[in-house]
Amino acid sequence: MSDHLMNTYNRQPVTFTKGEGVWLWDIAGEKYLDALAGVAVNGLGHAHPKLVNAIAKQAAKLIHVSNIYQIAEQSALADKLCEISGMDKVFFCNSGCEANEAAIKIARLYGHNKGVEMPEIIVMEQSFHGRTLATLSATGNRKVQAGFEPLVSGFIRVPYDDVEAVKQVALHHPNIVAILVEPVQGEGGINIPKDAGGYLEALRQICDTHGWLLMLDEVQTGIARTGTWFSFQHTPIKPDVMTLAKGLGSGVPIGACVASGKAAEVFTYGKHGSTFGGNPLATAAGLATLNIIEEEGLRENAEKIGNLIREGFNAEFKTTQGVVVVRNAGLMIGIELDRPCGDLVRMALDAKLLINVTADNVVRLLPPLVMSEAEATELVQRLAALIKTFLTK
Ligand SMILES: *Cc1c(COP(=O)(O)O)cnc(C)c1O
């Protein structure tokens, strides 16, 4: 590996050269089962022929123009995202943190427009919203923030899955204008609210009562990951703002800030922008991704395979000391152990299995949405054996 790369990642000693579906091959020709999908990005698996074709066709026609001009692919993707979300308007950018930056700017401008000069946004403990200054300030993880002070102000932190805590801060903070929350916390450890739908419904109600914006960070939960297009669709509510990225372009960088109602009218000419955001290549990839998910029934598959994997692990771990709980929302799967398990990532790699560990003691799986039953069964068997070995060491 080059000495000229900044040391921002503790990289595993492997280089991949090609992929197909849930499988990857390294430079030595060894084959790996990919249960991480580039951290929830490669929902269609690797080298999906319809996606490859859509990207190649678009690249041959037009990769980039500028948002100074009308972009047909961008318009088509905005229409599609609004059709499947029931929301009204989209701003395109290139990543999750940028989508959240847009959401934070919308919240602040929304506040200023109604006379709140120092608007504040409620955020959660253990949350993750990105690595830019505003989004790391919103993130509930000191490791992400340390050394980058002064942080961006205007965030009020409360415990996750605690409606009472939100009601309490509402009493003492007249400048609150929005709540920013992940429907399921990904980096935080696959944290699913006890009553996931009830939590979002309660937050919606509080926002309505106070005239705040409900802003859902669906960067990881969105694009069919939890079995519906967006995680909020497991409930009857709709957010004012939703942010997307990860799975949206199947690996071609793209992010989106989607808004509805009054929040959709906050940005006016000159208030925000992006050079690359929504370019023809990225939005063609996004459009192909959504169409393929629809054509191939991948929302249903995510729900089915996710539950199959959870049940499989539960059966495997029935008598295993050290496994606290297995939880999932579709194909967001967490196996919580009673001890730090970062070493499992390298053990799994040596066993030709790609997994992730987050929040110190949670094995996190984010498999491609295209995973079959047979592949899921193989994943459960191979990984359960590895975890059992790890726990008896
Ligand atoms: C990954 C992630 C982000 C940041 O996305 P980037 O594309 O890395 O900037 C933000 N929010 C959530 C919930 C994420 O999982």
Grade residue 69 by pLDDT with cuts at 50, 70 and 90: very high
> Considering only CA atoms, which of 335, 288, 289, 290 is closest in space to residue 311?
335
For ligand 1, atom 15, name the residue with the nearest CA. Answer: 220
Measured from the Cα of 253, ligand 1's closest atom is 7
Whether 26 and 73 share a structural domain: no
Grade residue 87 by pLDDT with cuts at 50, 70 and 90: very high
User: Coil, strand, or helix at residue 144?
Assistant: helix
> Considering only CA atoms, which of 84, 58, 7 is closest in space to residue 284?
58
User: Coil, strand, or helix at residue 155?
Assistant: strand
What's the confidence (pLDDT) of residue 154?
98
Whether 70 and 162 share a structural domain: yes
Output the CA 104–ligand 1 centroid distance in Å.
14
Asked if 328 and 314 count as a contact pair (C-beta separation under 8 A), the reply is: no
Measured from the Cα of 98, ligand 1's closest atom is 9
Helix ranges (DSSP H) in 232-297: 280-295
Whether 231 and 114 share a structural domain: yes
The answer to whether position 259 is within a domain reads: yes
Among candidate residues 266, 295, 324, the one where a domain is terminated: 295
Helix (H) or strand (E) holding 345: helix 343-350
Q: DSSP strand E in the chain: where?
A: 16-20, 23-26, 31-34, 89-93, 120-124, 155-158, 176-181, 213-217, 241-244, 255-259, 323-329, 332-337, 353-354, 356-358, 362-365
Grade residue 262 by pLDDT with cuts at 50, 70 and 90: very high
Average the pLDDT over 343-366 and give the result. 98
Output the CA 20–ligand 1 centroid distance in Å.
25
Strand partners, 122: 156, 179
Among candidate residues 295, 317, 342, the one where a domain is terminated: 295
Q: % helix / strand / coil in the chain, to the nearest 5?
A: 40, 20, 40
Output the CA 385–ligand 1 centroid distance in Å.
31
* Catalytic residue annotation: 128, 217, 246
Output the CA 243–ligand 1 centroid distance in Å.
9
For ligand 1, atom 11, name the residue with the nearest CA. Answer: 129
Whether 287 and 328 share a structural domain: no
Output the CA 39–ligand 1 centroid distance in Å.
10
What's the confidence (pLDDT) of residue 34?
98
For residue 97 and ligand 1, the question of a CB distance below 6 A is answered with yes
For residue 130 and ligand 1, the question of a CB distance below 6 A is answered with yes
Whether 32 and 173 share a structural domain: no
Whether 99 and 220 share a structural domain: yes
Average the pLDDT over 287-303 and give the result. 98
Grade residue 197 by pLDDT with cuts at 50, 70 and 90: confident
Whether 337 and 365 share a structural domain: yes
Average the pLDDT over 368-383 and give the result. 98
For residue 186 and ligand 1, the question of a CB distance below 6 A is answered with yes
Pocket test for ligand 1, best of 39, 104, 128, 248 (most atoms within 8 A of CB): 128
Among candidate residues 295, 311, 331, the one where a domain is terminated: 295
For residue 219 and ligand 1, the question of a CB distance below 6 A is answered with yes
Computed over every residue of the chain, the mean pLDDT equals: 98
* CA–CA gap between residue 33 and residue 368 (Å, rounded): 10
Sequence-distant contacts of 136-140: CB under 8 A, at least 24 apart: 138/100, 138/104, 138/180, 140/188
Pocket test for ligand 1, best of 39, 133, 215, 219 (most atoms within 8 A of CB): 219
Q: Is 278 left (phi over 0), alpha (psi -120 to 50) or beta?
A: left
Whether 91 and 187 share a structural domain: yes
For residue 128 and ligand 1, the question of a CB distance below 6 A is answered with yes
pLDDT above 90 for 314: yes
The answer to whether position 275 is within a domain reads: yes
Asked if 93 and 257 count as a contact pair (C-beta separation under 8 A), the reply is: yes
Number of domains observed in the structure of the chain: 2
Angle in degrees, 0-180, between the axes of helices 72-85 and 280-295, rounded to the nearest 10: 40
User: Which two structure tokens, joined as six digits, stand for 318?
Assistant: 């029935």
Q: What is the pLDDT of residues 207-231, one digit of tens each?
A: 999 999 999 999 999 999 999 999 9
Average the pLDDT over 338-365 and give the result. 98
Pocket test for ligand 1, best of 8, 123, 129, 230 (most atoms within 8 A of CB): 129
What's the confidence (pLDDT) of residue 323?
98
For residue 129 and ligand 1, the question of a CB distance below 6 A is answered with yes
pLDDT above 90 for 129: yes
* CA–CA gap between residue 241 and residue 238 (Å, rounded): 9
Output the CA 220–ligand 1 centroid distance in Å.
7
Whether 255 and 310 share a structural domain: no
213 lies in which domain range? Answer: 51-295
> Considering only CA atoms, which of 123, 129, 125, 121 is closest in space to residue 154?
121
Whether 220 and 357 share a structural domain: no
Grade residue 196 by pLDDT with cuts at 50, 70 and 90: confident
* CA–CA gap between residue 202 and residue 331 (Å, rounded): 25
User: Which two structure tokens, joined as six digits, stand for 185?
Assistant: 């916390």
Whether 117 and 197 share a structural domain: yes
For residue 96 and ligand 1, the question of a CB distance below 6 A is answered with yes
* Interstrand relation of 120-124 and 155-158 (parallel, antiparallel or unpaired): parallel
Q: CATH number, domain at 342?
A: 3.90.1150.10
Measured from the Cα of 130, ligand 1's closest atom is 4
For ligand 1, atom 5, name the residue with the nearest CA. Answer: 96
The answer to whether position 1 is within a domain reads: no
Whether 370 and 387 share a structural domain: yes
Q: CATH number, domain at 162?
A: 3.40.640.10
The answer to whether position 151 is within a domain reads: yes
> Considering only CA atoms, which of 168, 175, 169, 179 is closest in space to residue 208?
179
For residue 182 and ligand 1, the question of a CB distance below 6 A is answered with yes
